[in-house]
Structures are given as C-alpha cells and as structure tokens.
Amino acid sequence: MVMPTTLAMILAGGRVDELGVLTHYRPKSAVPFGGFARVIDFPLSNLMRSGIERVAILSQYRSYSLINHIGTGAAWDMIGRNRGIFILPPFKDYENPHWYRGSADAVYQNLDFVRYHQPEEILILSGDHIYEMDYRNLIHFHREQDADLTAAFIRVEKKNAAKRFGVAEIADDHAEGGRLLSYEEKPADPKGEWASLTVLCFRPKILSAILKENQASSSYEFGRDIIPMMMEQGLKVFGYKFNGYWGYSRTVDEYWRTSMDLLGDNPLIDMEKWGIRTNLEHRGIRDCQPLQVGREGVVDNSMAYNGCVVEGKVRNSILFPGVRVAKGAEVNNSILFFNTVVHEGSKLERVISDVNTTFGSNVQIGTAEGGVTMIGWNNQIPAGMVIGGGCMVAPEIPDERWPQQGLVDLEVLR
C-alpha cells in the first residue's frame, strides 16, 4: 500500500447563494445531510477507506461549524503518526496580500504545506459532492499513465451538463479512461458528455509550476483556468471515468433531490453500505436516546435518527436528531434539521428546515407541487401561519416581524 505518499486537499470553505439560508452561517461543505451527517463526510469517508490519511481542508467562509465538526479527525481515524486532518484558513503576509481568490489560489497559497509533506500525488477534492469512490483506483490509473493530471468524470446527458459543470471529451484509450480531447467549463452547448467531479490528481511539481503561472491571471479556478492551461501546454491530462452514483448539492432543488435518493426500498444512496463516518460528538448526537414513535405516530418511507420523537405522521422525509413531530401534525417530503419542533395540527410539505426551528400549531408550510420552501435556523413560526411553496424565510426572524394574519406566497427577509 503506497497511499501514504498521497496528500489530499479538500476545497471546503465557500458558500453558494443557491443554497440560500442553509449557508447563511456555515460553508456548503458543513450543511447537514442524510439524517445525521454533513456533506463533507462523504469525501472524508472516501479518503479513510482509500487509505489516504493526510488531509488538508481549505476553509474561508464562516469556518466555525466546519472546524467544530472536524474536531481532531478521530471520527475518520486520522490521528496519529504521519496522518491527520489540517484546517488551512486564509491568511495575509508579506508575500501574499490576498484572501483566497478561488480554488486554485487557495492551493497556491498553501504550497509550503505541500512541500513540507513531499507527496507523490496531490488529490484535490470538492467538499460538496455526495458519492462513494475508492481513490486508489484513480491514483493507480494516474500512475500507469504517468499523467501530470488525472481528473474524474461521470457521463451525463448533454442538456443536463450545459451551463452547470465542466464538460470533457475523453478518448477511449483504456476501460478506465483516456486522454482529454477537450474541456469546457460550464458551456452553453457542450461538445462532450463527461461532467467533472472535481476530483483531481496532480503531479506536485507540475501543479506548483502551473499555479505559479496562473498568478499572473485574474481568475484562479481549477476548472476554468488550470485544466485548460495544462491542455494548451501539451501536458499529459487524462480523464478517469467514474460509473457510480454522484449527487450534487449546489442548489436547493439538487440538495433536496439528492436527499430523497436516500429513501425507498432500494435507495440510490446507502450510507451504511458506503461506510459513511461522521463526528458523533458534534451536537452530541452520540448521546441521543433511541427514536420514539407514539401509538398514533407514522414513519413511512422516511429516515428518523436517534433523539427524534414522532407522534404525528411522517412520510417520505428525513429527520435529524432532536426533531419532534406532535400528535396531529404531518411532515411530508421534507428535511428537518437538528432540534426542529412541529406542533399539533401543523402540516409541512416539501420543506427544508434548518436547526432549532419551532413550527407553532396549525401552520401550513409549503405545497406538494411548488418549489421547496426553506426555513432558516432559530425561527419561531407563529401558530396559524401559512407559507407557500418555493418561499425562503431568513434565519432568526424577530417575533414582531411576523404578520398577524398569516403569510401566503411571500418571501420573508430581514
């Protein structure tokens, strides 16, 4: 096993406006997912199973939630000699006057960290994708091809790739992949049908040189800048074809649809089979009592973690620890984060509720046909309130801001 020569760097520090209130106070990689975990748990668990135990996490936006979740790295068995998880926040010094200006610039600013560890490969990963991958297969392919860069791709329909992903054409050199014939970042009319997973394996010396050259530019992104630069210079750039499940969590609809792939008799995402690890000390979830379902409670095609109390009806939904659904309440096609409370007579339909939110009695939130309704954290939804589909409620709305007669099809902002 030669994976200890690989250094992984996870791009985990940003927020995206498309996730709305879910990233008001946390980076996208720290958004809860799957009833107990966080999005970043997927690449971390993949690294653990792949035997890659030296991991740097590049974090810039509201890092506290992420730092609190990572802890010592013990949850992923990454403590000990020659292994560990390192949080690398942005900094300014005599040589560098900037915060992280993009994904490539974030790695460039930490090349001293790379040189210290002297890895044989650098594995760059996104912190906001849902998938299971053994990175050893990709690294083996990378070494066999003596590549300067090997990037992982998944086949998609061209219409789904347009304006959303980096898209490549890959030669059929080998069963696992081949040289990149073309690469376009978020094209309106893509040539290829292989979408980038932002799983990038670099030769360190080449990466260092190309990142330094990129500093003369005004854009600092791996997809938009680094991959095209390497191809233009005739460097050996290969595509690795990934055939497993891949879930995207950049937008509200994508996050909701990926979460729903956890449900059903044969779920597309099997977190137990995938061996997903999380920090059970974060929010004290390891100390939660078992799920309680009352005599009239219903939990149908749903996930409800320890610490939940269900006395009403829950269908096609995901409940995180501490959620309480009172008798006479209904939760359908929804995702309720930690310590959300739904009082008697209330009905939630296609709702994502952030932590510590209480829905008063007889509220009606969301619709079956409309868009997903988002509720920011630490809210007290007054009794009788009505909020339509596709609405977004900002975190911590003061009591005096709530209308007296209910709220219909209106976006609430501070």
Residue environment code for 66-100, b if the CB has 16+ CB neighbours within 10 A, otherwise e: beebbeebebbebeeeebebbbbebeeeeeeeeeb
In a domain, 270, yes or no: no
Determine, yes or no, domain membership for 406. Answer: no
Q: Is the dihedral of CA 258, 262, 263, 268 positive or negative?
A: positive
| In-domain check, residue 175 | yes
Q: Where are the alpha helices (DSSP H) in 246-289?
A: 252-260, 271-274
Is residue 412 in some structural domain? Answer: no
User: Do 50 and 184 fall within a single domain?
Assistant: yes
Structural domain harbouring 338:
288-401
Give the C-alpha separation, 342 to 325, whole Å. 5
Can you spell out the DSSP letters for 62-126? Answer: STHHHHHHHTTSGGGT--BTTBEEEEE-----SS------SHHHHHHTTHHHHHHH--SEEEEEE
Neighbours of 193 (CB within 10 A): 17
pLDDT, tens digit (0-9, with 9 covering 90-100), for 139-192? 999 999 999 999 999 998 876 666 678 999 999 989 999 999 999 998 888 889
- Name which of 120, 126, 145, 137 is nearest 207 in CA terms: 120
Same domain, 296 and 246: no
Q: Are residue 114 and residue 200 in the same domain, yes or no? A: yes
Let me know how many helices (H) and strands (E) the chain has, helices first.
10, 31
Identify the CATH number of the domain in which residue 318 sits: 2.160.10.10
Domain of 107, CATH number, reads 3.90.550.10
What whole-number distance in Å separates Cα of residue 62 and Cα of residue 13? 8
Same domain, 319 and 255: no
Same domain assignment for residues 169 and 46: yes
Asked if pLDDT for residue 381 goes beyond 50, the answer is yes
Greatest Cα-to-Cα distance within the chain, rounded to the nearest angstrom = 68
pTM, entire model: 0.93
Does the residue 317 lie in any domain? yes
Amino acid at 269: I
Alpha-carbon span 331 to 314, nearest angstrom: 5
Asked if the structure places residue 357 within a domain, the reply is: yes
Which stretch, 159-163, 248-252, 334-338, has highest mean pLDDT?
A: 334-338
Instruction: Please check whether residues 292 and 255 belong to one and the same domain.
Output: no
**φ/ψ (deg, to 5) at 21:** -65, -15
> Same domain for 252 and 311?
no
- Shared domain for 138 and 9, answered yes or no, is yes
Q: Nearest to residue 262, comparing CAs of 20, 42, 22? A: 42
- pLDDT of residue 414 exceeding 50: no
At 46-87, the pLDDT tens digits run 999 999 999 999 987 777 888 889 999 999 999 888 889 999
pLDDT, position 249: 82
227 and 320 both lie in a single domain: no
Residue 14 maps to a domain? yes
DSSP letter at 282 equals G
Q: Are residues 222 and 326 in the same domain?
A: no
As for how many domains the chain has, the answer is 2
| Structure tokens given for 129 | 């994708």
Same domain for 57 and 105: yes
Q: Are residues 171 and 292 in the same domain?
A: no
Q: Which token pair is 316?
A: 């096609």
